[in-house]
């Protein structure tokens, strides 16, 4: 027992003797490692993880060298080899782990951003429903009550009220249809029956369907292009895309303005371009044009009184349908207005 106590005391004295030398060499290395971590705080996570792993290894080496007085004994050589092996194993592992954590962090940040954007879209959609659906309902209710109470008696007035109720009902039905279509797209429930579709026929039919609206607003709709692309798609959904884009262009083009619809072939894609005369879209808004219920503010030409405003879903639906066809839709300011471009894959012959 006495020998054990003396051995422990001797070992403690030895540790206390070498501790200052170990700290003298190890603490500066540890401080440099901490400084390197501070300087790398804005760099890649892999670099930070590498320094974080190397710092204790190099600090241990420095402390051992300080204690041994840089006398390379077999024990010191063994310690150096062990530290080297540890570094060879831990540094690659730290790099791989750092990159994995960085990818995970980026994915989580993007997921949070998508969630915030989805929440913002839901709030805008609720606001849109509460305002735009309420307006035609209120008009229908007021006119129906006037007819029921006998406030309107003249035949011409009754016919006018009936026509206005019919118009508001049609508008309301269109909004509900847009909501249903958008819900199918966002829920991934849209099922397309793909076939070879001549795009020019789809465009001609959509332009013809929108001609009465354009004539009432005194807007010229021009259809240009000599190409006859055949795309792989679903005829009803392709018609909906073109109809929404042309309707949007007519709505935002002032009277006596022009809407141009162009068709072309670009490589292995069909190109559909719709130009309007809306006056352009501000740079801070052009990225939100396809968002649900977004209508823009000052740059677009104000609509005249008496025209039916859009619900803000047409472009969002067009974007969803284009992407369902594995195509791409974009917008940029062009000439007196803006240009919507749709690219769709050509049908395989």
pLDDT at 304: 41
- How much is the pLDDT for 99? 73
Determine the Cα–Cα distance for residues 319 and 330; give it in Å rounded to an integer.
Answer: 9
Q: pLDDT tens digit string along 188-227?
A: 777 888 899 999 999 999 899 888 889 999 999 998 877 8
Instruction: Return the residue matching tokens 């007035």.
Output: 157
Query: What is the per-residue pLDDT for 249?
Result: 92
| pLDDT beneath 50: ranges in the chain | 298-309
Beta-carbon contacts of 155 under 8 Å, excluding residues fewer than 6 positions away, are none
Name 260's bridge partners.
222, 275
**Which pLDDT score, from 0 to 100, does residue 189 have?**
73
CA separation, residue 88 to residues 37, 54, 82, 159, 326 (Å): 20, 10, 10, 89, 47
| Per CATH, domain 194-345 is 3.30.565.10 | yes
What tokens does 285 get?
A: 């808004």
For the chain, what is the radius of gyration of the CA atoms?
36
Q: How is residue 280 annotated by DSSP?
A: -
The kind and range of the H/E element at 264 are strand 258-266
pTM of the predicted model as reported, rounded to 2 decimal places = 0.59
List 346's β-bridge partners, or say none.
231
DSSP 104-167: HHHHHHHHHHHHHHHHHHHHHHHHHIIIIIHHHHHHHHHHHHHHHTTS--SHHHHHHHHHHHHH
Q: Which residue is listed with tokens 């118009």?
A: 167
Cα–Cα distances in angstroms (integers) from residue 228 to residues 58, 198, 272, 303, in the given order: 70, 7, 11, 34
DSSP state of 181: H
- Report in angstroms the alpha-carbon separations of 253 from 150, 203, 250, 256, 318: 41, 19, 5, 8, 19
DSSP 44: -
| Pair 299, 338: CB distance under 8 Å | no
Q: What is the pLDDT of residues 75-134, one digit of tens each?
A: 767 777 777 777 777 777 777 776 777 777 777 787 788 778 767 766 766 676 666 677
- Where do the CATH 3.30.565.10 domains begin and end in the chain? 194-345
- Position 19 scores a pLDDT of 67
Could you give the dihedral angle defined by the CA atoms of residues 120, 122, 126 and 128, in that order, rounded to the nearest 10 degrees? Answer: 70
Question: How far apart are the C-alpha atoms of 94 and 48, rounded to whole Å?
Answer: 9
Q: Which residue has the tokens 């700290």?
A: 23
């Amino acid at each position: 027992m006495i020998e054990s106590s003396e051995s422990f005391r001797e070992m403690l004295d030895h540790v206390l003797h070498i501790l200052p030398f170990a700290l003298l060499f190890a603490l500066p290395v540890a401080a440099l490692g901490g400084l390197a971590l501070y300087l790398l705080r804005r760099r890649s996570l892999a670099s930070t993880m590498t320094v974080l792993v190397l710092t204790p290894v190099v600090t241990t080496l420095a402390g051992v060298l300080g204690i041994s007085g840089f006398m390379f004994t077999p024990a010191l050589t063994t310690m150096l080899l062990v530290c080297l092996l540890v570094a060879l194993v831990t540094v690659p592992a730290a790099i791989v782990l750092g990159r994995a954590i960085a990818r995970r962090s980026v994915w989580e940040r993007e997921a949070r951003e998508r969630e915030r954007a989805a929440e913002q879209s839901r709030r805008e959609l609720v606001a849109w429903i509460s305002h735009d659906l309420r307006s035609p309902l209120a008009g229908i209710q007021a006119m129906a009550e006037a007819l029921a109470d006998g406030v309107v008696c003249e035949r011409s007035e009754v016919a006018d009220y009936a026509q206005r109720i019919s118009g508001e009902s049609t508008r309301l039905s269109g909004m509900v249809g847009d909501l249903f279509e958008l819900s199918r797209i966002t829920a991934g429930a849209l099922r397309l029956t793909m076939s070879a579709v001549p795009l020019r026929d789809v465009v001609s039919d959509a332009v013809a369907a929108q001609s009465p609206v354009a004539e009432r607003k005194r807007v010229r709709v021009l259809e240009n292009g000599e190409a006859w692309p055949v795309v792989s798609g679903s005829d009803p959904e392709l018609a909906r895309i073109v109809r929404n884009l042309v309707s949007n262009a007519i709505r935002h083009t002032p009277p006596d303005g022009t809407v141009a619809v162009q068709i072309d072939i670009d490589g292995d894609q069909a190109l559909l371009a719709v130009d309007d005369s809306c006056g352009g879209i501000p740079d801070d808004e052009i990225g939100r044009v396809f968002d649900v219920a977004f209508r823009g503010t000052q740059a677009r030409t104000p609509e005249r009184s008496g025209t039916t405003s859009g619900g803000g879903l047409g472009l969002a639906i067009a974007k969803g349908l284009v992407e369902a066809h594995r195509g791409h839709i974009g917008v940029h300011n062009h000439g007196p207005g803006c240009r919507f471009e749709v690219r769709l894959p050509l049908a395989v012959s």
